[in-house]
Amino acid sequence: MTAGYPVVWVESPLQFVAATELAAERGVRMRVVFRLGPQMPETAAELLARGADFASCVPYVGIPWSELARASEWIVGDGLSGQFRLAAAVLRPRAITLLDDGTMSLRLAAALAGQCSFERPEQRAPGLRGLLGGLARDHLLRLAGMGRLVFFSVFGTERDEFRAAAALGVRLRANRFAWIRRTARPPQLPGTRVLLGTARVADGLLDGAEHRQQVARFAALGSAVYLPHRREPAREVDAIRAIPGVTVVEPGLPVELFLAGLDGLEIRSSGSSADTTLAHVLGRPRPVGRAA
């Protein structure tokens, strides 16, 4: 790798989008390593097709040790992952920018502020893993004290978690999705009433039958377009496809990329960070509404 490039390390499509927005805002070419997973190759291809100017963009499995070791700055999507905690504790990066990771960004800001443990909610990391989390947090806070820790997010000091992190020296920069709006390639949808899919069923946070009832109630008020979440099980999507009045459209991309440039949509969700991000992407004055 050419020395001096910031290195972007992302693990989800939304993180990928945020990295592109940051690169466009800074006007700096970055080397991107992205974790292989659902929608990741498709998101990479779409971003490049829209003109994302990366120094390089390559898939990766595991921790990209050599790239991170020589990076002038880490631009990280998942600051709570076990791999990041290990890499940060070992390599001690000189500067870090944290990217939008949906509602997990709120968890990360709270963890930096000491309001919760430095791990994902579903994780419990005793022993060495817990120690690495503590070491990673300590290093991040040292960087914050030197003005070298930035959080690039759609969320800001209107949220208690981010206000607390800012009080510790974390620099906040607003992500308003200007690049996505400028490069939008709006699709042709079969309707204007859109219901966003959710990963909450797969994560055990929402009962599948309850979710299908929400979809049915929405469709009962008029034909609906359903956009599955990338982690929704195929059997769940098939069950929703069978609900009268519902047309399932597989976006293959994060909804922020897929829906950019469309007007006149009525959008509902079962509750996700897309409620907030889409408000900026679509230029709405308030977040997307919740499904009844």
Would you say the CATH fold of 184-290 matches that of 7-181? yes
The Cα-based distances of 285 to 176, 177, 279 in angstroms read 13, 14, 7
Query: In angstroms, rounded to a whole number, what is the distance separating the alpha carbons of residues 84 and 80?
Result: 7
Give 86-150 as a DSSP string. Answer: HHHHHH--S-EEEEPBTBHHHHHHHHHTTSS-SS-TT----HHHHHHHHHHHHHHHHHHHTT-EE
Q: Looking at the domain that runs over 7-181, which CATH code has it been given?
A: 3.40.50
184-290 has which CATH code? 3.40.50
Query: Residue 105: its pLDDT value, please?
Result: 93
> Residue 122: its pLDDT value, please?
64
Q: Walk along the chain (292 residues) and give the pLDDT tens digit of each residue.
A: 445 689 999 999 999 999 999 999 999 999 999 999 999 999 999 999 999 999 999 999 999 999 999 999 999 999 999 899 999 989 999 999 999 888 889 999 999 999 998 888 766 656 666 688 889 999 999 999 999 999 999 998 899 999 999 999 999 999 999 999 999 999 999 999 999 999 888 888 889 999 999 999 999 999 999 999 999 999 999 999 999 999 999 999 999 999 999 999 999 998 777 888 998 999 875 656 677 6
Domain spans of the chain, in order of start: 7-181, 184-290
Q: Is 22 helix (H, G, I), strand (E, B) or coil?
A: helix
Could you tell me the two tokens for 182?
């400028």
Of 77, 89, 99, 68, residue with least CA distance to 137: 89
- Classify strands 266-269 and 246-248 as parallel, antiparallel or unpaired: unpaired
The confidence score (pLDDT) of residue 1 equals 41
Predicted structure pTM score:
0.92
Instruction: Please give the structure tokens belonging to residue 233.
Output: 């099980």
Q: What is the pLDDT of residue 2?
A: 45
Strands 31-35 and 7-10: parallel
